[in-house]
Structure 1
Amino acid sequence: MDKNTLNDAELWQQVKQGDTASFSCLFERYWEEMFSMAYRRLADEATSKDFVQNIFIHAWENRQQIIVEDKLSPYLFTALKYSVIRHIYREAKQGTTDLPLSVYSLPDETDLKKQDHYDFDRLRDKVQAEIAAMPDKMRGVFILSYEKELSIREIAMRLSISEQTVKNQLQNARKRLRLRLQSQAIFLPFIL
């Protein structure tokens, strides 16, 4: 059977069973369009390729949790959009690039994409509220890891705690976020 004749949902059912050929077919189906979209936003070929590759790696690793009723593209392009926005915000925070006056001033925006940015901002606000509600020690470790991007060793030294305690706190924080934001949990790796 030629896999190219199957729709995304049929291929995804095979992917869930571990079929790498079906996954490759989906990769070939969406790779070019995703790369093109990322490149239009980032103007950096290597970063754009990395983003697309990481999204597919994440999709493979989480294939059992991803539900494809018709097409895989909504998942893929939403993940790509969140990754690009996160990257832009991070670069702006580090001072390596200017943040657009508004996220909406990114090129090629449509009303639908503006709504997507609004949804992203709402989800990011929910994540921030959940982080703020964490116990002090957990929140401190989490912020040093995700916002300050310190290593486990650096966090342990800064807080005078063991590396294992840091690992445990991070694991508990991620678990807490996944539970509290269950409906959006599949996109958390692209936001945090």
Structure 2
Amino acid sequence: MEEQEIIAGCRKNNPIAQRHLFDRHYRRSYHVVMRYLSNHHDTEDVLSISFTRIFKNICQFESRGEGSFQKWINTIFINESIRFLKAKKELMFQEDEELLILNIPIVDHSDLLDVEEVQQVLDMMPKGYRTVFNLFAIEGYSHKEIGEMLHINENTSKSQLSKARNYMVQKLKKKYSHEQY
């Protein structure tokens, strides 16, 4: 089924079209939500809520060209992830005393890093850092947009991103310095 057929079918509550939408977007959406929650069971809960919201609100979707449906879906998954973290009161933003070393130069060791190692560090990262990092570095939101989404100051978003990057660098440097000996 083509995307437009799936959308049209979902607007008519066609279970076959809904299944196609679910099958087509589940895996990618799972990874999006998992980046925010780092917990399989919570991720499944948010996916369930999100897909229900998508099916309920698909009539409100307006196509704005290629990729707009994927962006609309991603926005729902991201917003539900943030709502989940806020409801559990797990979305905290760390104060400056947490990390004293800021603006560590990032050396390109991309040939040494693998996705699993980076994901492991992301999973350990405080949720405030991780959320801002995901929104900015992966999803492409601006600090102003992040501030509006999370109800924080734009400068807080910038600070959390800086701390997230430094956290990532420190953890990866520590890991690689231990492996060299």
Q: Give the length in aligned residue pairs.
A: 115
Q: 2:63 aligns with which of 64, 68, 71?
A: 68
1:105-130, CA deviations, whole angstroms, 9 ceiling, x for partnerless residues? 31554175342x632532666xxxxx
Residues 88, 99 of structure 1: 8 Å contact kept: no
Q: How does 1:119-134 map to 2 (within 5 A)?
A: 119-122=145-148
Over 3 Å counting, the alpha-carbon distance change for 1:32 and 1:87 in structure 2 is: same
**Cα-Cα RMSD:** 2.8
1:11-43, CA deviations, whole angstroms, 9 ceiling, x for partnerless residues? 212221232211211111110111122112212
Over 3 Å counting, the alpha-carbon distance change for 1:26 and 1:84 in structure 2 is: same
Residues 34, 40 of structure 2: 8 Å contact kept: yes
> Are 1:99 and 2:92 an aligned pair?
yes
Q: How does 1:4-23 map to 2 (within 5 A)?
A: 6=2, 8-23=3-18
Residues 6, 17 of structure 2: 8 Å contact kept: yes
Q: 1:78 aligns with which of 75, 79, 82?
A: 75
Residues 11, 23 of structure 1: 8 Å contact kept: yes
Aligned-residue identity in percent: 12
Q: Which residue of 2 aligns with 1:28?
A: 23
Over 3 Å counting, the alpha-carbon distance change for 1:66 and 1:111 in structure 2 is: closer
d(CA) in 2 for partners of 1:98, 1:85? 8
d(CA) in 1 for partners of 2:138, 2:51? 27
Q: Which residue of 1 aligns with 2:172?
A: none
Q: Which residue of 2 aligns with 1:141?
A: none
Q: 2:140 aligns with which of 83, 93, 113?
A: 113
d(CA) in 2 for partners of 1:55, 1:120? 20
Over 3 Å counting, the alpha-carbon distance change for 1:98 and 1:67 in structure 2 is: closer
Residues 33, 43 of structure 2: 8 Å contact kept: yes
Instruction: Output the amino acid matched with 2:86.
Output: Y
d(CA) in 2 for partners of 1:86, 1:39? 14
